């Protein structure tokens, strides 16, 4: 999407995983949102893999719990 197409989007939370092959694309998207004037929070969870929040084996890792808590707090903030 162009910067012009992204203008006016709602606030965004972009969470990336340090060991995810899509990490760079997610972080580039966050930068582009920022350039378009969209309020964006970008966080990288180092050591995590793609789909970290949905894998039972890592669901209790502190970083996963933190990422899910952050996502729920952002939703609550913007859905008032």
DSSP 36: T
CA distance 6 to 67: 24
Q: Could you report how far apart the first and last alpha carbons of the chain are, in Å?
A: 28
Give the total number of structural domains in the chain.
1
The pLDDT mean for the chain works out to: 91
Q: What is the pLDDT of residue 49?
A: 86
Quick one: pLDDT at residue 62?
A: 84
| Res 14: pLDDT | 98
* Cα gap 4→1, rounded to integer Å: 8
33 lies in which domain range? Answer: 3-78
Helix (H, G, I), strand (E, B) or coil at 44: strand
Percentage of residues in the chain with pLDDT exceeding 70? 94
pTM for this entry: 0.78
> What does the block give as tokens for 57?
């084996």
DSSP code of residue 10:
P
* pLDDT at residue 58, as a whole number: 66
Residues of the chain with pLDDT under 50: none
Predicted pLDDT at 57 = 63
């Amino acid at each position: 999407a162009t910067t012009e197409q992204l203008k006016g989007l709602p606030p965004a939370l972009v969470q990336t995983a340090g060991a995810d092959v899509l990490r760079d694309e997610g972080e580039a998207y966050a930068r582009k949102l920022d350039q378009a004037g969209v309020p964006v929070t970008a966080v990288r969870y180092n050591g995590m893999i793609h789909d970290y929040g949905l894998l039972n084996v890592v669901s209790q890792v502190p970083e996963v719990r933190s990422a899910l808590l952050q996502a729920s707090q952002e939703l609550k903030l913007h859905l008032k």
